[in-house]
Amino acid sequence: MPRLPRKAKPRIASLSAMHYIALAARKSFSYHSQTHNQMQVALRRATLSDAPTIARFNALLASETEQISLDQDRLLKGVEALLRDSTKGFYVVAESKNVIVGQLMITYEWSDWRNGVFWWIQSVYVEKAFRGTGVFKMLFDHIHSLAISSPDVCGLRLYVEKRNVRAKQTYERLAMHSSHYEMYEMDFVL
């Protein structure tokens, strides 16, 4: 999806950029519903009561993509911490018949080069039975729309496991591209 032009909006000087982005994300939507491939799918911001499902999806994601078994207690506490503190980020969930069938998480990275915030798409998971039905595209399109309407968001980023060809193809179909950066890390937990 090509980047759409955005109208200039005044910056809100009294709020930190991260606080403003979190506030905008929280207020931007509560529920978005769409019929896709004969199924009704609703998108909404996740709440604390969704934490067990999100943690389960994150455990499945780690197992399926990286063959890692995550500590369930630590994982649930991590999901709950983000859901309690919007300055860390937020989750959007997709529901069909009041059951969560997909999710993604947004976290924030300040860019001094751009004087804006990148939204990092993370913890993307769609139930196996719903893959290929457009659930992720709905989630992505919704986040893209929120991002381009938020004056301090300068772009979307994500990282993908190197061998996950299907995910890479999906992201490329959505007009994302591989960057010239490589990621390095020093993990103190896993």
Q: Measured in whole angstroms, how far is the alpha carbon of residue 42 from the centre of its chain?
A: 16
pLDDT given at position 33:
65
Q: 37-57 burial, b for 16+ CB within 10 Å, e for fewer?
A: eeeebebbbbeeebbebbbbb
Note the pLDDT of residue 140.
97
State the helix-helix crossing angle for 135-148 and 17-28, rounded to 10 degrees: 130
pLDDT of residue 87: 97
Q: How far apart are CA 92 and CA 62, in angstroms?
A: 19
pLDDT of residue 39: 77
Taking 3-state DSSP, the helix, strand and coil percentages for the chain, each rounded to the nearest 5, stand at: 35, 25, 35
Q: Is residue 158 part of a domain?
A: yes
Contacts of 39 (CB under 8 A, 6+ apart): 96, 133
**122 in any annotated domain:** yes
pLDDT of residue 34: 62
Inside any domain, residue 37:
yes
> What's at 112, amino acid-wise?
D
189 falls within a domain: no
The model's pTM is: 0.82
Is residue 161 included in any domain, yes or no?
yes
- Tell me the C-alpha to C-alpha distance, in Å, between residue 120 and each of 49, 107, 124: 23, 5, 11
What is the domain-level CATH number for residue 109?
3.40.630.30
DSSP designation for 38: T
Domains identified in the chain, total number = 1
Residue-number span of the structural domain to which 130 is assigned: 17-173
Residue 10 lies in a domain: no
C-alpha distances out from residue 8 to 2, 60, 123, Å? 18, 41, 31
Q: Is residue 178 part of a domain?
A: no
CA 168 to chain centre: 16
Rounded to the nearest angstrom, the gap between the alpha carbon of residue 65 and the centroid of all alpha carbons in its chain is 17
Identify which of 5, 36, 11 has the alpha carbon closest to the alpha carbon of residue 152: 11
In whole angstroms, how far apart are CA 126 and each of 94, 133, 149, 160, 181? 9, 10, 25, 15, 27
190 belongs to a structural domain: no
Q: Which residues of the chain have pLDDT under 70?
A: 1-38
Give the pLDDT confidence score for residue 129 in this predicted structure.
Answer: 95
The Cα 25–Cα 131 span in angstroms is 26
